[in-house]
Amino acid sequence: MARPPEFDRTKALEAAMKLFWIRGFTATSLPDLLEAMGIARSSFYASFRTKRDLFTECLELFGDRTLAMINEDNRSLHPRDLPHAFFESTILNVSKHRAGRGCMMVNTILELANADPALNELATQKLYAVEQAFAGAFSLAQKSGDMDTTYTSKQLASLVMTINLGLRVQSRQNKSREELQSIIERSLFALGLAA
């Protein structure tokens, strides 16, 4: 009963996410977004309401994908190996360009912690879901006597997240893949999670 859209909403969202991911919220201007998404201004506002709403949607997408990645690994790997697999697939086995984007949740927290508490909260919540995924897997393995219990599952997940956050910052610096790999190996060794 009406004219159909000329663009693929999912693809446009994807393009926006990549841009926000690398540049952050403030530094990404509307013209930047429109060009990357390949749509016109009016279509933008009709489909995504505001820049901030779009950012929120992108952040949710990013967080959900990150969580899905861990849940996927959790079906085939031993819980002890989940952190290493996570670092492999998000830091080591990706292009330098992509590694340089870091983690969108972390970027958001540091950019907007004080300027937009609601977005900080959303990013924090998404990161917490990741931490919970690790903790759940560790807990099961510990209960079946299949994993060291020096730390409780929650404590261990918390430590893994601290390392993760540290690595995300280093990803946005000029650290080489080799340096990052060394840090990953030694950190996991220190936590008793070496391969």
Partner DNA sequence: GTAATTATGTACCTTTTAGTCCACAATTAA
Partner DNA sequence: TTAATTGTGGACTAAAAGGTACATAATTAC
> What is the contact surface with a copy of itself in residues (CB under 8 A)?
22-24, 26-27, 100, 102, 106-107, 109-111, 113-115, 120-121, 124, 127, 151, 155, 158-159, 161-170, 172-174, 182-183, 186-187, 190-191
Within 10 angstroms of residue 124's Cβ, the number of other Cβ atoms is: 15
Residue 75 neighbours by CB under 8 Å, 6+ apart:
none
Taking the complex as a whole, the smallest distance from the CB of residue 172 to DNA amounts, in Å, to 21
CA dist., res. 115 & res. 108, Å (int): 11
Q: Which is nearer to a copy of itself, 50 or 155 (CB)?
A: 155
Taking the complex as a whole, the smallest distance from the CB of residue 108 to a copy of itself amounts, in Å, to 9
Q: Contact letters (x/-) for DNA, 49-78, by CB under 7 A? A: -xxx--------------------------
Count helices and strands (H / E) in the chain.
10, 0
Taking the complex as a whole, the smallest distance from the CB of residue 35 to DNA amounts, in Å, to 11
Taking the complex as a whole, the smallest distance from the CB of residue 102 to a copy of itself amounts, in Å, to 7
User: Taking CB within 5 to 8 Å according to partner kind, which of a copy of itself, DNA, none is near residue 3?
Assistant: DNA
Place of tokens 């959900």: 64
Taking the complex as a whole, the smallest distance from the CB of residue 34 to DNA amounts, in Å, to 9
What tokens were used for 53? Answer: 């709403």
Q: Contact letters (x/-) for DNA, 22-41, by CB under 7 A? A: ------xxxxx------xxx
CA dist., res. 116 & res. 25, Å (int): 11
According to DSSP, residue 2 is labeled -
Residue 141 neighbours by CB under 8 Å, 6+ apart:
78, 79, 80, 147
Alpha-carbon torsion 26, 30, 35, 38, what sign? Answer: positive
Contact residues toward DNA (CB under 7 A) are 1-7, 28-32, 39-43, 45-47, 50-52
